[in-house]
Amino acid sequence: MKTVVVRPERCVGCRQCTLACAVAHSSAQTLAEAISLEPSPVARIHLGAGPAGEAFPNRCRHCDPAPCQIACLTGALHRHEPTASVLVDGERCIRCAACIMACPFGVIRFQPDPNRQPPRWIAEKCDNCVGRQQLGLIPACVEACKVGALLFSEIEQVMRDKTAEMARRSALGIHSHAEDQPDTWQQHLTLRMMSQSL
């Protein structure tokens, strides 16, 4: 399954991802037109502070199994089989907030549904830009990110790459550190691996 993968160590907090997301999910589809929309378009990716105070783009992980989908009383949250993305059916959402309470990442919010007049508040979350994917495009947030903090990739491949990089860095750390202080190499390795996984 392809999904948006966050690499927070590269994020500079420019908010281009949130802007692109808001525009992509607006009825206007261009920034110039989206500025004048009422209600204002809202991003489905949220920029917050990470564990060390760094910028962290927080978005839906499209968990499998998805706690939000399990908690949904009406089936409004469902999996889009071609992309394995968890989506919200605004017509079935009853605003009970069960999905919001179940989400371990805090990425589901109530937003006005722009397709209804007057707007009706429903649960909203990242949809992995399913519409853009069906057109052969990548998610808007990934396209907008110029520093590589967001990737659209197979999660298994990203995990393999991350594991290989951690092993490479750890091996280099063991070699150089073991020559200096061979009795503390294991402690050094543990600290390096912990810092790489954050």
Give pTM, 2 decimals.
Answer: 0.76
For residue 159, the model assigns a pLDDT of 80
Query: What CATH number does the domain located at 2-154 have?
Result: 3.30.70.20
Q: Domain residues of the chain, as ranges?
A: 2-154, 157-197
pLDDT in tens, the chain (198 residues): 788 999 888 999 999 999 999 999 988 878 888 888 877 888 999 998 877 777 889 999 999 999 999 999 999 999 999 999 999 999 999 999 999 999 999 999 998 876 777 778 999 999 999 999 999 999 999 999 999 999 999 878 878 887 888 888 788 775 433 333 333 434 444 444 445 544
For residue 182, the model assigns a pLDDT of 38
For residue 128, the model assigns a pLDDT of 95
SS3 content of the chain, % helix, strand, coil (to 5): 40, 20, 40
Label residue 108 exposed, middle or buried (CB < 10 Å: 0-12, 13-18, 19+). Answer: buried
Question: How far is the C-alpha of 129 from the C-alpha of 36, rounded, in Å?
Answer: 22
101: number of Cβ within 10 Å:
11
For residue 174, the model assigns a pLDDT of 54
Q: Please provide residue 154's backbone torsions phi and psi, each rounded to the nearest 5 degrees.
A: -70, 125
